[in-house]
């Protein structure tokens, strides 16, 4: 947090310097005029940070490349997984949680590493009440309507906080080195599914635009954690009773190419859309 604030301050100073370039600028007072400041603040916090490509993970590169501690410097809200696909990652309010293969949740240690994740600093641009959304198809249709309105070529992080009649989720058993199975192969035997009935909690959702289909999964991806942070997972289906939906519309995308031993050799030209649909949705 401190680092982010410092960055913002530096950017603001730089903006101030730039604004001194035009011939019209004459006094120091002009640097305190508001036009430069909001852009600098927006650019600093409004970026989706991604560790690796989803296509690297789905090919079986489960080696972590950033630590939980480092990830927390890139955002306070997001989704992902851990080294060896050791559970589903959901980050809420700056805390990184692991939903384990039995659906229970723990706080992830700072030194654990992460092979794939998307995070951002969550600043709600809009907030609304939603209710009676009976399944994930209806939720996606509702959210897609909003995307059409807000713009389909941006990234959106959302939070849904409220009560749920049901959340169907999954996690998976940790894979052991050497990692020889693709994610679809690993999940075929090691995925575990669970239903949480009449529960309260938070869904964190990411929308990637269609042009991201070779770097991630286009469309929506949701992870869930209960309000008491005891249960959670990758959402397969849900039934929302009543909740608050918040959107964070982001302006930028930043992807880290991992320095794992597998990454240089991966064939990332392969079309994995069928595998990705399978691992994301069980279809
Ligand atoms: Zn997931």
244 alpha carbon – ligand 1 mean position (Å)? 21
Same domain, 55 and 33: no
Report how many domains make up the chain. 2
More confident position, 25 or 234: 234
278 alpha carbon – ligand 1 mean position (Å)? 12
How confident is the model at residue 217, as a pLDDT? 94
What pLDDT band is residue 26 in, cutting at 50, 70 and 90? very low
Same domain, 186 and 253: yes
> What is the chain written as a DSSP string?
-HHHHHHHHHHHHHHHHHHTSSTT--SGGGGGSTTSHHHHHHHHHSEEEEES-HHHHHTT-----EEHHHHTTT-SEEEEE-GGG-SEEEEETTEEEEE-TTSBEEEPPTT-EESEEEEE----SEEEEEEEE-SHHHHHHHHHHHHHHH-TTSEEEEEEEEEEEEEEEEEEPPP-SS--S-HHHHHHHHEEEEEEEEEEEEEEEEEE-GGGTTTS-SEEEEEEEETTSSBEEEEEEEEEEEEEEEEEEE-EEEEEPP--SSGGG--TTS--HHHHHHHHH--
Q: 14-18, 67-71, 72-76, 194-198: which range is least confident on average?
A: 14-18
pTM of the model: 0.85
Same domain, 78 and 124: yes
| pLDDT tens digits for range 166-191 | 999 999 999 999 999 999 999 999 99
Same domain, 95 and 152: yes
Same domain, 209 and 228: yes
Q: Which domain holds residue 16?
A: 2-43
What pLDDT band is residue 42 in, cutting at 50, 70 and 90? low
223 alpha carbon – ligand 1 mean position (Å)? 6
Same domain, 130 and 227: yes
220 alpha carbon – ligand 1 mean position (Å)? 10
Same domain, 227 and 245: yes
Same domain, 100 and 205: yes
Same domain, 16 and 126: no
How confident is the model at residue 34, as a pLDDT? 47
Same domain, 239 and 215: yes
| pLDDT tens digits for range 188-244 | 999 999 999 999 999 999 999 999 999 999 999 999 999 999 999 999 999 999 999
Same domain, 27 and 74: no
What pLDDT band is residue 40 in, cutting at 50, 70 and 90? low
Same domain, 136 and 120: yes
Indicate if the pLDDT at residue 3 is higher than 70: no
């Amino acid at each position: 947090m401190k680092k982010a604030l410092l960055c913002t301050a530096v950017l603001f100073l730089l903006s101030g310097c730039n604004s001194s370039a035009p011939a019209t600028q004459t006094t120091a007072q002009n640097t305190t005029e508001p036009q430069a400041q909001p852009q600098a603040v927006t650019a600093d916090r409004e970026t989706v940070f991604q560790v690796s490509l989803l296509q690297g993970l789905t090919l079986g590169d489960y080696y972590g490349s950033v630590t939980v501690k480092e990830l927390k410097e890139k955002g306070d809200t997001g989704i992902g997984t851990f080294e060896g696909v050791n559970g589903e990652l959901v980050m809420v309010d700056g805390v990184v949680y692991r939903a384990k293969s039995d659906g229970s949740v723990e706080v992830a240690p700072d030194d654990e590493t992460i092979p794939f994740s998307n995070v951002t600093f969550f600043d709600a641009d809009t907030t609304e009440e939603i209710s009676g959304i009976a399944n994930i198809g209806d939720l996606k249709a509702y959210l897609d309507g909003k995307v059409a309105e807000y713009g389909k070529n941006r990234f959106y992080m959302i939070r849904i906080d409220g009560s749920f009649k049901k959340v169907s989720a999954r996690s998976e058993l940790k894979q052991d080195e050497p990692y020889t199975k693709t994610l679809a192969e690993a999940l075929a035997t090691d995925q575990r599914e669970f239903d949480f009935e009449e529960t309260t909690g938070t869904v964190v959702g990411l929308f990637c635009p269609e042009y991201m289909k070779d770097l991630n999964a286009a469309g929506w991806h949701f992870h869930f954690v209960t309000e008491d942070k005891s249960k959670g997972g990758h959402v397969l289906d849900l039934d929302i009773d009543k909740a608050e939906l918040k959107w964070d519309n982001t302006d930028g995308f930043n992807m880290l190419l991992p320095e794992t031993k597998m990454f240089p050799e991966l064939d990332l030209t392969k079309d994995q859309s069928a595998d990705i649909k399978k691992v994301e949705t069980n279809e």
